[in-house]
Structure 1
Amino acid sequence: MADPTSPPDPGPVTIGDIVARLERLSGRASVTLGDILASFGQASFVPALMLPALLVFSPLSGIPLFSSICGLTIAAVSAQMLLRRRHIWLPRMLRDRAVSGPRLRQALGTMARAGRWIDRNTGERLRLLTAQPMASLFTLVCFCAGLAMPFLELVPFSSSILGLAVLLIAAAFLTRDGLFALAGLAIFAVAPTIPLVLWMGLV
C-alpha cells in the first residue's frame, strides 16, 4: 500500500521514463498489457497512448497478432481521450494479453534508442497544435491509425510505421511540441501507400 504521506506519482514525463518502467516490469516471467498500463495509473492517458505505439514500433511487432492488440489498444485509449473520460478502461481481452519478460527485455534496446532520440529533439514548439481543438484532430488520427493496424497485420512494417506516427503525436502531447505532431501526421498520411508499393513490387 502506498504511503499516504508520500507525494503522488507525477507519471512519466519522457519516453525514457516509460522505458525505465518497462525495464522494471521485464524482470517478470510474463507481463500483461494490463500490468503495464497499471504501472502508469488509470488517468495517464498520454503514456497509455504512447506505450502500445512504442511496443508496436519495436521488434515485438513480429509476434503474431501483437500489432493488432496494440492497434486496438491505441484506438480504445484515443476514443476515451476524445470522449474526455477521466480514467482508462480496457476490455479484458486486451488487458490479459501477455508477452514474456525476456522477450520484452530484448525489445527494450530499440525502444530506448527511439526514446532517447525523441527526448533529445522535442521542445515547446507550435504549442497551439497540441491544445484544443487541434489536439482532438491529432487524437482522431491516432484512433484511425490504431483501427488500421489489425487490417495491416500481414503487411511488413506497416503497423510499425503507423505506430511511429502515434508515438510522435503522443510525444508531442507529452512535451507540447506541435512540430512532432505534424511529423506524426505526415507519417500517417504516407503509411497507406506502403501496401500499394509492396503490391506493385510483387507484380
Structure 2
Amino acid sequence: MKGDMAHPDTSSRPITAIIDRLEDTTTRDQVTLRCMIEAFGKSSFTTAMCVPALLVTSPLSGIPLFSSACGILIASIAAQMLVGRDHLWLPSFVMNRSIGNDKMLAALRRLHRIGERIDAITRPRLRPLMTGPFRKLYQALCVLCGVLMIFLEIVPFSSSVLGMATILFATAIIVRDGVLACLGVAIMCIGASLPFFALQAM
C-alpha cells in the first residue's frame, strides 16, 4: 500500500529499529524534528508517525508546547495515510523545532526499554483485525490521538498515554498484530479520560 509501508529496517523489531535510527541523527548540538522524521524517507508514513509518538512518551514531553508539536505531526501524518497520499508533507513551523543533543540522547536511552518491551510482545495475530477497513480505523484513531494531544497539553501524562496508543497502532499496522491494535484502543480510552479524572481531583 503506497504511503503506508514500514522502512525495511523496522520489519523484525520495529520500535527498537526506529530508536536506533533516531540515535544516528543525534550528531549535532541541536536535532530538528525534520531531521529525525526525514531519516525514514518521505514514503514511510507509519514509521515516521512513530517518531513523534515515541518522543512524546519520553521526558521530552515536559518541554512546553512539545506535546502539541508532536500531536500536530501525528495528526498530519495519520491524516495523510488515511487519504492515501504517496509522499509525506509536514508543516515547516513544527518540523523546524529543535531539541538539544544531550536531552535527545537521554530520552532515547529511556525509550530503548519501552521499545524492547513492545517488540518482545509483538507478532502477527488476529489478522482479520488488520484488514483494510480496520487499518483505516486505526489511522483515524491516530489522527484523534494527535488532535487530543494539542488540547490536553496541560493535563499531566495525557500526551504520553496518547503517544503510547499511537505507537501501538503504528506497530500493529507494521507487524499486522490485531491484539496490539486492541491494546492501543484501550490505552487511547485511558488517555482521553485523564482530563475527567483530573477535574474530579481538583
For residue 31 of structure 2, what is the aligned residue in structure 1? 31
* Maintained 8 Å contact 2:148/2:192: no
Q: Match for residue 3 of structure 1?
A: none
1:97-116 aligned within 5 A: 97-116=97-116
CA distance in 1, matches of 2:198, 2:26: 35
TM-score of the pair, normalised by structure 1: 0.92
The answer to whether the 8 A contact 1:169-1:180 is kept is yes
Divergent runs of 4+, >6 A = none
Alpha carbon RMSD of aligned pairs, Å? 1.1
Instruction: Quote the residue 2:198 is aligned against.
Output: 198
Equivalents in 2 of 1:158, 1:112: separation in Å? 21
Contact (CA 8 Å) 1:11, 1:40: kept in 2 or not? Answer: no
Unaligned residue ranges in structure 2 (runs of 5+)? 1-6
| Cα distance in 2 for residues equivalent to 1:79 and 1:35 | 21
- Map Cα deviations across residues 49-71 of structure 1 (whole Å, 9 max, x no partner): 11111110111100100000000
Alignment of 1:34-49 (within 5 A): 34-49=34-49
Residue aligning to 1:5 = none
Deviation at 1:11, TM superposition (A): 4.3
In the other structure, the counterpart of 1:12 is: 10
Aligned to 1:181: 181
The aligned amino acid for 2:162 is: L
For the residue of structure 2 that corresponds to 1:31, the secondary structure is strand
**How far does residue 10 in structure 1 lie from its aligned partner after superposition?**
2.7
What fraction of aligned residue pairs are identical, expressed as a percent?
A: 43
**Superposed displacement of residue 37, structure 1:** 1.1
AA aligned to 1:178 is G
**1:76-115 alignment to 2 at 5 Å?**
76-115=76-115
* Gap runs ≥5 in structure 1: 1-8
CA distance in 1, matches of 2:108, 2:50: 15
Amino acid at match of 2:8: P
CA distance in 1, matches of 2:82, 2:118: 25
CA distance in 1, matches of 2:193, 2:90: 31
Task: Give the TM-score normalised by the residue count of structure 2.
Answer: 0.93
Structure 2 contact 67–150 (Cα < 8 Å) conserved? yes
For 1:148, give the aligned amino acid: L
Deviation at 1:198, TM superposition (A): 1.6
1:99 is paired with a residue whose SS is strand
Q: What residue is the counterpart of 1:143 in the other structure?
A: 143
User: Aligned residue pairs: how many?
Assistant: 194
Q: Secondary structure at the match of 2:31?
A: strand
Distance 1:191 1:19 in 2: 23
Q: Check 1:197–1:12 CA distance in 2 against 1; reply closer, same or farther (3 A cut).
A: same
